[in-house]
Amino acid sequence: MSGLPAYELILWLIFSLFAIVTLVQLLYYWLIFSRLAFFNKQDKIYNKQPVSVVICARNDYSNLRRNLPMILEQDYPEFEVVVVNDGSDDETSFLLKGFAETYPRLSIVTISENLNFFSGKKFPLSIGIKSAKYDVLLLTDADCRPASPLWITLMQSNFVDKKEIVLGYGGYETRPGILNKLIRFDTLFVAMQYLSYALAGVPYMGVGRNLSYRKSLFYKTKGFISHYRIRSGDDDLFVNGVARRLNTRIEISHESHTISEPKTNFNEWVRQKQRHFSTGKLYKPKHKMLLSGFIVTQFMFYLLFIMLLPSLYNIYYVMALFGLRMFSALFIHKKCMAKLAEKNLLLYLPLFELFFILFNPILSLTASISKQHKWK
């Protein structure tokens, strides 16, 4: 190589690095994300244990009026729904009292505005968990609705052997517009990661829109104490700290999903994502290494491809590597979309990948310097 002109040597080095990062990307897709793409149903238990559904609400009158009946009317023999009304100043309390007269399964816990000493919803959620009667907890948000009357049945059915955590999928409604597609693509890819890693024996997060774990595990691990000062993290940081290969399962059948209303304003969505980004720095080092490894090589894949293209250096090999990686990404994404009941996102893959490559680092930086204290 020492005999090559400097220009060709640089091109050779760029091409070699491009080949390496392409290989790493292929390993991520075929060794990690393919686990969700080709996931088959697991053995389940159907001697139905009693379940406590826990929901925190703050000024969620409209959401509760629309979604709570679908939770209270689940097809399940023994369950309760604990709604923690965290200092709402709208008509939430009157709505809940009205529901309680119709649905005896509903249990209402009210927290005064001045009692939530911690930022975020960790304090009200802890109160809700403490108030729950049953060991199996199923968590969701006030703006979520179950995709079917079998939501509780399917999530609960995974508590076999020594399982203590079940990771579910929380999707968003399909609506017109590019923002909706961005939100659903981002949600899909986040799910591809945390569900695939869980199947690989490396669970690292879950989403509070659809998450189940045992109350005994919450108390055994001291709940949110290790990160109570962080506004977010009642879902992902808790799972990151307590999930293990042998105690975690996933549930992805379409009937087990929850569905939320997506943000319709770009700035509101950005603020929502900033809250989520604020927790990533507290993940375990091995999780941060695995997640950042994909992001860095994804960025380098596109950058090096753009650098090589004008030179036409080894153009057939460059295009073959590019095509192989893009085919793998499209194929795995398509399979995962089918598993998670997501549609009409596949053709946006290259565009959205490039968008998030540029957008996420900026968002991560702004999240690290912004200060937020209230969870709503």
Domain membership flag for residue 248: yes
| pLDDT, average across residues 16-44 | 94
Residues 6+ apart with CB under 8 A from 320: none
| Cα–Cα distance measured from residue 324 to residue 302, given in angstroms and rounded to the nearest whole number | 13
Give the count of beta carbons closer than 10 Å to the beta carbon of residue 77.
Answer: 9
Between CA 205 and CA 223 the distance in angstroms is 15
The verdict on 145 and 259 lying in the same domain is yes
Q: Is 46 a domain residue?
A: no
Q: Please indicate, yes or no, if residue 345 is contained in any of the structural domains.
A: yes
Residues 251 and 117 in one domain: yes
Phi, psi of 211, rounded to the nearest 5 degrees? -145, 140
Rounded average pLDDT over 50-63 = 96
142 located within any domain: yes
The answer to whether residues 170 and 240 belong to one domain is yes
Question: What Cα–Cα distance (Å) separates residue 79 from each residue in 82, 110, 133, 159, 232?
Answer: 10, 20, 9, 15, 27
Q: What is the pLDDT of residue 373?
A: 46
Mean pLDDT of the chain: 92
- Quick one: pLDDT at residue 375? 52
By the 8 A CB rule, do 231 and 372 touch? yes
| Amino acid found at 202 | V
- Euclidean distance between CA atoms 228 and 192, whole angstroms: 27
Residues 192-208: pLDDT tens digits?
Answer: 999 999 999 999 999 99
Which residues are CB-contacts of 106 (< 8 A; sequence separation ≥ 6)? 68, 72, 80, 81, 83, 96, 99, 100
Q: Quick one: pLDDT at residue 231?
A: 72
> What distances in angstroms separate CA 365 from CA 206, 222, 333, 336, one per listed residue?
23, 30, 28, 30
CATH of the domain at 80: 3.90.550.10
Among the candidates 246, 280, 314, a domain finishes at 280
Give residue 3's pLDDT band: very low, low, confident or very high (50, 70, 90). low
> Residue 102: CB partners within 8 Å, gap ≥ 6?
none
Q: Residue 90 pLDDT more than 70?
A: yes
Q: Does residue 270 sit in the same domain as residue 308?
A: no
Residue 374 lies in a domain: no
Q: How confident is the model at residue 365 (pLDDT cuts 50, 70, 90)?
A: confident
Tell whether 22 is covered by a domain: yes
The rounded Cα 92 to chain-centroid distance in angstroms is 27
Q: Are 168 and 140 in contact (CB under 8 A)?
A: no
The residue out of 233, 255, 280 marking a domain boundary is 280
Smallest Cα–Cα separation from 124: which of 109, 139, 144, 136?
A: 109
Map tokens 């604020």 to a residue.
Answer: 278
Task: Assess whether 275 and 290 both reside in one domain.
Answer: no
DSSP conformational letter for 45: -
Residue 208 included in any domain: yes
269 and 291 in a single domain? The answer is no
Residue 130 sits in the same domain as residue 244: yes
Please check whether residue 123 lies inside any domain of the structure: yes
Asked if residue 372 has pLDDT above 60, the reply is no
92 and 232 housed in the same domain: yes
Percent of the chain residues topping a pLDDT of 90: 77
pLDDT number for residue 376: 58
What is the H or E stretch that residue 370 is in?
A: none
| Residue 81 per-residue DSSP state | E
Task: State the pLDDT confidence band at 327, using cuts at 50, 70 and 90.
Answer: very high
Instruction: Judge if 218 and 303 occupy the same domain.
Output: no
Is 56 in the same domain as 182? yes
Domain residues for 216?
A: 51-280
Give the range among 200-204, 266-270, 305-309 with minimum mean pLDDT.
Answer: 266-270
**Per residue in 131-179, pLDDT tens?**
999 999 999 999 999 999 999 999 999 998 889 999 999 999 999 999 9
- Decide: 336 and 33 in contact? Cβ < 8 Å: yes
Say if residue 368's pLDDT is above 90.
no
Closest by Cα among 223, 242, 81, 236 to 164: 242
The residue among 369 and 258 whose pLDDT is bigger is 258
What's the longest Cα–Cα distance across the chain?
A: 86
pTM of the predicted structure, to 2 decimals = 0.92
Position 168, amino acid: G
Instruction: Output the CA torsion 69→75→78→80 (10° steps).
Output: -20
How many structural domains does the chain have?
2
273 and 156 belong to one structural domain: yes
Final residue of a structural domain among 280, 314, 330: 280
What does the pLDDT read at residue 213?
98
Residues 182 and 131 in one domain: yes
Closest CA to 376 of 110, 125, 58: 58
Helix, strand, or coil here: 288?
A: helix
- For the segment 255-265, the average pLDDT, to the nearest whole number, is 95
Give, in degrees to the nearest 5, the angle at Cα 242 between 239 and 246.
Answer: 105
CA Rg value for the chain: 23
pLDDT digits (tens, 9 = 90+) for 211-259: 999 999 999 998 888 777 777 778 889 999 999 999 999 999 999 999 9
Structure tokens at 66: 């629309």
Structure tokens at 180: 């909706």
pLDDT value at 371 more than 60? no
Lowest mean pLDDT among 5-19, 205-219, 276-290, 330-344: 276-290
